[in-house]
Amino acid sequence: MEFSAKEIASILQGKAEGNEQVTVSNFSKIEEGKPGTLTFLANLKYTHHIYETQASIALVNDDFVPEKKLPSTLTLVRVPNAYAALASLMEWVDKEKKHKRGIESPAYISPSANVSPETVYVGAFAYIGENVSLGKNVEIYPHAYIGDNVTIGDDTIIYAGVKIYAGCRVGKRCIIHAGAVVGADGFGFAKEGGNYKKIPQLGNVQIEDDVEIGANTTIDRAVMDSTIIRQGVKLDNLIQVAHNVEIGENTVIAAQVGISGSTKVGKNCMLGGQVGLGGHIKIGDNVGIGAQAGIISHIESGRNILGSPAIDVKNFFRSSLLFQKLPDIYRTLNQLQKEVETLKKELNKD
């Protein structure tokens, strides 16, 4: 697809400076800009690249003031927030792409499923179970498994190899990446004598609108009721969400996070990579948790924490300064202890 600077400015409600008719057909990083591409400047530490870039168009913030002459081949498009504008433009371009339609062969679709070949795409070797309902513009890529009684909302994309177990519900405009598993049994066992007896997992998973789930992420079904992923949640690759967990609206979670059963995560939270959350705890709204933190108790709203067990970020960094000094502190403490013992002996002689 090809767009002119004038068209891009119109889409983003920005202002073009330079040749409005110059066109681009791809995106590039500002330090790797090529003719015919659009780049952006959002981070000031990359400012020096804009004076040398070969890109044809650059998105910049409204308040950007060049300190020297820009390349004559570069047209600026000024917007309030260059990074947000880039995301909006890429989203717009993605939506303009032609959606796949039709049923590829071989694919199995149950006669009881509500699937319209005119409005959906089902790839080869996909399996669509009994009483499945697919909304408009749904795309099911090859080798996906959609179990019985699953409902998938409009404009949702299920990529290759995704497995959605029976009874689960997926909202509108969701994206589930390759290899993700939604609705597998939760890890529920009761010890009986020397053995473990499986507890049937009779609930489901409910995923609300505008959720994105990364590759090979797993979300377990509830013992009863539902494991719930609220609207706008973004999950990275390789995340484990256990049974009866609830993740609040617009929370974002990085790779390799593990969330234990029945834990509730609030709205607008941010969890770094490899965070571990214990079971049956509650994380408040607007909480930030740094990478590799271990959480074993309730966390109040608005806190930023780090470490294992996690503490407030400021206290963690103060403590980390002491970690490096511990060997010296230990030697000093030993020396002081020896001096105290010597003084005690001298006092006892007197």
User: Of 99, 143, 177, 243, which one is the catalytic site residue?
Assistant: 243
CA atoms within 13 A on the CB side of 283: 34
- Are 154 and 138 in contact by the 8 Å Cβ rule? The answer is yes
Residue of 28, 51, 25 whose CA lies nearest to 36 = 25
Exposed/middle/buried for residue 14 (C-beta within 10 Å: 0-12, 13-18, 19+): buried
Tokens found for residue 80: 């309030």
Amino acid at 115: V
Tokens found for residue 316: 């963690």
Q: Report strand pairing: 246-247 vs 226-229.
A: parallel
Pairwise CA distance, residues 43 & 46, whole Å: 6
Residue 115: partners with Cβ closer than 8 Å, 6 or more residues away: 103, 109, 122, 128, 132, 134
Task: Assess whether 99 carries a catalytic annotation.
Answer: no
Give strand pairing partners of 206: 169, 228
CA atoms within 13 A on the CB side of 327: 1
Phi, psi (deg, nearest 5) at residue 314: -60, -45
Core vs surface per residue 189-206: b (16+ CB within 10 A) or e: eeeeeeeeeeeebebbbb
Point out the residues that are catalytic: 243
